[in-house]
Amino acid sequence: MTTSGPYSTLDWPSQVIVGITEQLQQKSDPVTAQLFGCGEDNYRLLLSVARDLVAGASLSGSCEVLKALADVSYAKMSRGESQICWRRLYTDAHILRSMAGIDGNTALEAIGHLDRAIIIAGAAGDGRLDLILSLISKIQSSYVQALHLPTTSAYARSNQLPREPLQIKTSRHPIPCMERSPSLQTFQTSSYKYPFVLRRFASDWPAINEHPWSSTAYLRSVAGPGRLVPVEVGADYRADDWTQKLMSWNEFLASLDLEDQTGVSRKEVLYLAQHNLLMQFRDLNADIIVPDYAYTSLPPPSDFPGYKPPGNEDQLVINAWLGPQGTISPAHTDPYYNLFVQAVGRKTVWVTSPELSKYMYPYTAQHSENPATNANSTSMDNTSHVDVFCDESGGDRYPEFWKHVVEHKFTMHATLEPGDLLFLPPGWWHAMRAEETSFSVSMWF
């Protein structure tokens, strides 16, 4: 966002500030109109501080006001007020803070502000995501020295590991593996009703071949320096000491055993879980191929009549999951159809039918509040108390689960390897455990 006329001689960060200020002054602009729901006072304060930055007013004072506006917006979002106005206010406050007085000493901090607008507010506002990503790229090229990435010897990939699923005591049956991919017609008429696995379905993804997501050097290169990501701290989000935080992408990658980085010692378990990383680092989008199944129109399953596709324009939500060996997604349900692809490492998955929900001992109360990187507190009513990966074989703690679920024909498991695809209908209980450093992609539709 640059300007012409009397401001054309300004440096590019100042031109960005001028462009946003000019847009905020146009009350009829649809992007500006999104702010009015936050109240006239907040809108006028944002416009006033933008004008002050253009006029060269106190930088520290302006940044304090922008921080206060961002804090107000974050507090509203944290209380569940996810209206577009608060996400817009948070986004624009962080864009202006990133551009205010930027130089070589503040460039990484500026990138952090822009990443927060993506991670916490979804870069709300028409064109804001494109603007933010372009600003990050320009800051990196203008102010931040390029990364010099060391190379180390690679270890053998896991494609020679046994294909049989690891045995677990809470399931007696394998998830069906199809010999061939079903046709779209077969998928729409019958295959969509139950989980299945397609071995090596995504083996031609660039993420597994020419742009390997198993390489820390490649993963650093697609992001560039200074980027932030949201991570979970702890192997299981049901634990009392589990929390979330924002941290450097490079620091997070340094905690993982990957192809060009082995023998890593870590003080805590860090897990990037259910994050739209492919929106934040767009080069990763070219490394996957969304299956045609994701674009089919499917009816609500008979055992999950409340199904509706995602409400975004594409009716598709893509999330990434990256973490070390031992990270667990406990047994839970999701409201969408899911195409889940394993890109790096092995992951064991356990599933059971919605018809067994009454034996799954779900949480019924709101999970205790933890410091969060997203706007909303985490509801646990779709999550089970039962640890389906436990070693116990008795029924003392959850007798109904051990009596009715474990032996059921629809309680199944499989071990996914790189390139494998798992299909899950909505409402099915499922749990996952990383058997080694694992990178996965889920596609809700």
The pLDDT tens digits for 239-278 are: 888 999 999 999 999 999 998 988 887 789 999 999 999 9
> What SS3 class is residue 38?
helix
Tens digit of each residue's pLDDT (9 = 90 or more) over 293-347: 999 999 999 999 989 999 999 999 999 999 999 999 999 999 999 999 999 999 9
Percent of the chain surpassing pLDDT 70: 89
> What SS3 class is residue 424?
strand
Cα angle 3, 5, 6; round to 5: 105
The rounded distance, in Å, linking the Cα atoms of 132 and 111 is: 9
The rounded distance, in Å, linking the Cα atoms of 113 and 19 is: 18
Among 374, 422, 358, CA closest to 237: 374
* pTM > 0.85: yes
E-only strand ranges, 284-396 = 317-323, 328-332, 338-344, 347-352
Quick one: tokens of 176? 């069906």
Distance (Å) of CA 67 to CA 13, 47, 49, 95, 122: 19, 14, 11, 11, 18
The rounded distance, in Å, linking the Cα atoms of 15 and 359 is: 60
The rounded distance, in Å, linking the Cα atoms of 166 and 347 is: 10
Which pLDDT belongs to residue 163? Answer: 57
> What SS3 class is residue 197?
strand
Residue 18 half-sphere exposure toward CB, CA atoms < 13 A: 17
Which pLDDT belongs to residue 394? Answer: 60
Which pLDDT belongs to residue 294? Answer: 98
Taking the CA atoms of residue 278, residue 279, residue 284 and residue 287 in that order, the dihedral angle to the nearest 10 degrees is 80
Element (H, E) at 196: strand 196-198
Sign of CA dihedral 284, 286, 288, 294: positive
Tens digit of each residue's pLDDT (9 = 90 or more) over 177-223: 998 999 999 999 999 999 999 999 999 999 999 999 999 999 999 99
Beta-strand relationship, 412-416 and 173-174: parallel
End-to-end CA distance of the chain: 34
